Amino acid sequence: MKKKLVSVLVAGAMLAAMLTGCGGGSGTQAPAADNGGAETEAPAADGASGEETLTVWCWDPAFNLNAMYEAEKVYQKDHPNFKLNVVETPWEDIQTKVTTAATSGDLSTLPDIFLMQDNAFQKNVISFPSVCMDLTNSGIDFSQFAAGKTAYSVIDGKNYGVPFDNGAVVACYRTDYLEQAGLTIDDFTDITFDQYIENGKKVLEATGKPLISMQAGECDLIMMMMQSAGSSLFNEDGSANIVDNDTLKIVMETYKQLKDSGVLIEVNSWDEYVGSLVSGDVAGTINGCWIMASIQTAEDQSGKWALTNMPSLVGASNATNYSNNGGSSWAVTTNCKNQALATDFLASTFAGSTELYDNILASGALATWAPAGDSTAYATPNEFFGGDAVSAKIVEFSTKVPSNITGVYYYEGRDAVATAITNYINGSDIETEMKTAADTVNFNMGK
């Protein structure tokens, strides 16, 4: 998801209270430091037991690294000897380093804590069970996080990650375009995709603007739609859930209806997608809340946007108006020499401090930790989005997101379904394409 991070980084230095959270990323890795310094004894409550240092790997200085430095300041108030050694490490490098350490059987190269993309969490824990610490009984209260977010790092009923940034899906609209069609944001709130298409036709007729754009050959909207109904491409046992997946079939049919109606247009690249938003070529979008950072770069459009929840699928059991796209969570490695310190740090900050989430809100780091949404900072109106308290609203959205199963072959499944969608739109039989996608995934799984 590197392409999304580029847009977010451009906007991140410019705007306050912007929302992001997409995984991936690139950058120059800071010189690696060794893990020495993590004490073996549990942390003293007053931090008087000597130097307490943890090494952390994560990417994106303005977002993830900044959040860690702010967490360090919060924790140091009660633990004055505490220090973090934060090493900027692109996600692709983290994945490579974790894979190398696990397959070699030498975990000594790993840090105490590292950030992991949510969609890769189950894959890594299942494939490399020796890497991540089981945090289930660590004292971290996972019930305070959005259940759909937490589920990404739960394997066999055990918690392996501390949720971080919010990827809750939002639907954003140009209110001036809606007004020309005789519509308001209320006409797009708690609606179905059938209603969405009908409203979109009105907007298209009145303004000449499609309601939404998506990158051709990508699967983001498909996956958002599926998760909104609690459906996944995989079963609990890891087997592919594609051929007889009624929700997937409804999603594919709905996507084709969107495109055939002219309400949705496809563009060729990520840059074209973002460009269609900021140039006013489309009337809205549906994506992870981090897309708001890119939207807000169009300063001349301030006050002309509004935000609500996404449409629900018609005919899908368990359909909701909520989903997720993107995000990451913190993992503690089994190589950590002071696991008590690492878990207490995370429990006291990312799983326990409204002050931390208030401090990092301006960088775009929006919580999935429910208590943060009750703070004054989250209730602050966002003038770009019509004076709405969008931060608090999105935290509420995140608590309603259904969980899904990513498994080991999540990305292979996405790619196979993206191809199936393209072929179906171009006239191929839907049942044939679903079977071909399943066969492709099963081949990758060695079945």
Q: Is residue 19 part of a domain?
A: yes
From the CB of residue 100, how many other CB atoms can be counted at a distance below 10 Å? 12
Quick one: pLDDT band at residue 122, thresholds 50, 70, 90? very high
- Rounded-to-integer distance, Cα 447 and Cα 440, Å: 10
pLDDT of residue 44: 42
- Per DSSP, the three-state class of 438 is helix
Is there a single domain that holds both residue 416 and residue 280?
A: yes
Per the structure, the count of domains in the chain is 2
For residue range 222-275, list pLDDT tens digits in order.
999 999 999 999 998 999 999 999 999 999 999 999 999 999 999 999 999 999
Return the minimum-mean-pLDDT range out of 112-126, 336-350, 367-381: 367-381
For residue range 65-88, list pLDDT tens digits in order.
999 999 999 999 999 999 999 999
Q: Is residue 105 part of a domain?
A: yes
Cβ atoms of 423 and 231 within 8 Å: the answer is no
Q: In this prediction, what percent of the chain has a pLDDT beyond 70? A: 89
- Cβ neighbors of 12 (< 8 A, separation 6 or more) are 18, 20, 62, 63, 293, 363, 364
Render 329-355 in DSSP notation, one character per residue.
EEEEBTT-S-HHHHHHHHHHTTTT-HH
pLDDT of residue 46: 38
pLDDT of residue 102: 97
CA 71 to chain centre: 20
Give the tokens for residue 203.
């907007």
Bridge partners (DSSP) of residue 132 are 333
C-alpha angle 117/240/256, rounded to 5°?
Answer: 85
Q: Is residue 270 part of a domain?
A: yes
Q: Is residue 112 part of a domain?
A: yes
- Rounded-to-integer distance, Cα 345 and Cα 350, Å: 8
Is there a single domain that holds both residue 119 and residue 232?
A: no
Q: To which residue do tokens 């020499």 refer? A: 337
Quick one: pLDDT band at residue 37, thresholds 50, 70, 90? very low
pTM: 0.82
Is there a single domain that holds both residue 266 and residue 299?
A: yes
**What mean pLDDT is reported for the chain?**
89
For residue range 289-336, list pLDDT tens digits in order.
989 988 998 999 999 999 999 999 999 999 999 999 988 999 999 999
For residue range 177-211, list pLDDT tens digits in order.
999 999 999 999 999 999 999 999 999 999 999 99
Is there a single domain that holds both residue 334 and residue 421?
A: no
- Rounded-to-integer distance, Cα 61 and Cα 352, Å: 23
Is there a single domain that holds both residue 224 and residue 310?
A: yes
Give the tokens for residue 293.
């950072």
Quick one: pLDDT band at residue 363, thresholds 50, 70, 90? confident
Is there a single domain that holds both residue 314 and residue 376?
A: no
Taking 90 as the threshold, does the pLDDT of residue 3 lie above it? no
pLDDT of residue 63: 87
* Phi, psi of 374, deg, nearest 5: -90, 0
Q: Is residue 217 part of a domain?
A: yes
pLDDT of residue 407: 86
Structural domain containing residue 14: 2-167+326-398
User: CATH number, domain at 300?
Assistant: 3.40.190.10
Q: Amino acid identity, residue 170?
A: V
Quick one: pLDDT band at residue 150, thresholds 50, 70, 90? very high
- Rounded-to-integer distance, Cα 444 and Cα 81, Å: 49
CA distances from 89 to 53, 92, 95 (A): 18, 8, 10
Is there a single domain that holds both residue 276 and residue 348?
A: no
Is there a single domain that holds both residue 101 and residue 91?
A: yes
Is there a single domain that holds both residue 286 and residue 374?
A: no
Is there a single domain that holds both residue 77 and residue 8?
A: yes
From the CB of residue 310, how many other CB atoms can be counted at a distance below 10 Å? 24
Q: What DSSP state is assigned to residue 199? A: H
Is there a single domain that holds both residue 181 and residue 316?
A: yes
Q: Is residue 404 part of a domain?
A: no
Q: Is residue 318 part of a domain?
A: yes
No. of H helices and E strands in the chain?
16, 12
Q: Is residue 403 part of a domain?
A: no
Quick one: pLDDT band at residue 39, thresholds 50, 70, 90? very low
Cβ atoms of 277 and 298 within 8 Å: the answer is yes
Quick one: pLDDT band at residue 50, thresholds 50, 70, 90? low
Is there a single domain that holds both residue 96 and residue 192?
A: no
